[in-house]
């Protein structure tokens, strides 16, 4: 696992956007896995700036969704499909025909989960999956003690998670769905490159457990230790509890520039 410590979230966004741009220059029809939330927004803004400046052609790129609410209509403004359309697809000029996501309104949710895993495989697999991390080490909606071999499946949201997400639903927790579809950890690990972005002191314990702690289901993100090409990008605050922080800084400064992340 490579750990890159950046001065702030803007620098992290630029670094990851450049990794996406390099991938797209090499493979124009790459499948990019994206996450929702505030953390990845600087990545999307930086990539959009590169596209608009003509630094990279994204016309053949494809976008894959990490998770989705169950029972929320796709056109609902807070469905993750709608959020990603606003924050990723439209700014980048990518149409919905290039978008892959699970059907959160399906009558048979389990079949929808299995269909999404199959769809990702038929699309050739995710080339680069962007991840955030929860304060408890969760990735996607894989909460602590999720199976490290789990596939795309339905998960029940905790009351705390529903309360946290109520701000997107006019502060009304009763509007927040109880269930989500999420790529499982086993599904996530099939992406060719995993890039986790963490910012803020509140993520410091989770980052330390992910990078330097044992491989354990209690910290789902620690599964990145199993991946042959995983990159953790953390700002100074999120990296503040890493014992090997100086080593990570040294190796990144001294790696070949052409190697990227």
Per DSSP (E only), the strands in 132-175 are 153-156
Q: How far apart are CA 239 and CA 235, in angstroms?
A: 6
Cβ atoms of 79 and 36 closer than 8 Å = no
Per DSSP (E only), the strands in 84-218 are 99-100, 128-131, 153-156, 179-182, 193-198
* Active-site residue list: 67, 136, 138, 143
Tokens 């949201």, residue located = 157
Q: Which of 36, 103, 89 is nearest to 61 (CA)?
A: 89
CA atoms within 13 A on the CB side of 192: 15
Tokens representing 18?
A: 């450049």
Q: Which of 184, 175, 215, 191 is nearest to 77 (CA)?
A: 175
Q: How far apart are CA 25 and CA 151, in angstroms?
A: 30
């Amino acid at each position: 696992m490579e750990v890159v410590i950046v001065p702030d979230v803007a620098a992290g966004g630029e670094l990851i956007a450049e990794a996406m741009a390099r991938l797209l220059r090499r493979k124009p029809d790459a499948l990019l896995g994206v996450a929702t939330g505030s953390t990845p927004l600087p990545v999307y803004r930086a990539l959009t700036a590169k596209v608009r400046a003509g630094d990279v052609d994204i016309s053949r790129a494809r976008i894959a969704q990490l998770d989705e609410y169950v029972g929320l209509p796709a056109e609902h403004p807070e469905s993750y499909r709608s959020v990603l359309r606003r924050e990723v697809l439209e700014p980048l000029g990518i149409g919905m025909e290039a978008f892959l996501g699970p059907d959160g309104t399906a009558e048979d949710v389990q079949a929808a989960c299995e269909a999404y895993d199959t769809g990702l495989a038929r699309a050739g697999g995710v080339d680069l999956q962007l991840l955030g991390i929860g304060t408890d080490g969760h990735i996607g909606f894989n909460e602590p003690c999720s199976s490290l071999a789990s596939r795309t499946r339905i998960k029940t949201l905790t009351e705390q998670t529903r309360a946290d997400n109520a701000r997107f639903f006019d502060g009304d927790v009763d509007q927040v769905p109880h269930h989500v579809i999420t790529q499982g950890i086993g599904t996530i690990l099939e992406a060719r490159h995993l890039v986790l972005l963490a910012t803020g002191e509140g993520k410091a314990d989770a980052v330390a457990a992910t990078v330097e702690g044992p491989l354990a289901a209690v910290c789902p993100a620690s599964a990145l230790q199993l991946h042959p090409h995983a990159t953790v990008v953390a700002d100074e605050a999120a990296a503040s509890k890493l014992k090997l922080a100086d080593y990570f800084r040294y190796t990144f400064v001294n790696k070949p520039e052409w190697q990227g992340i």
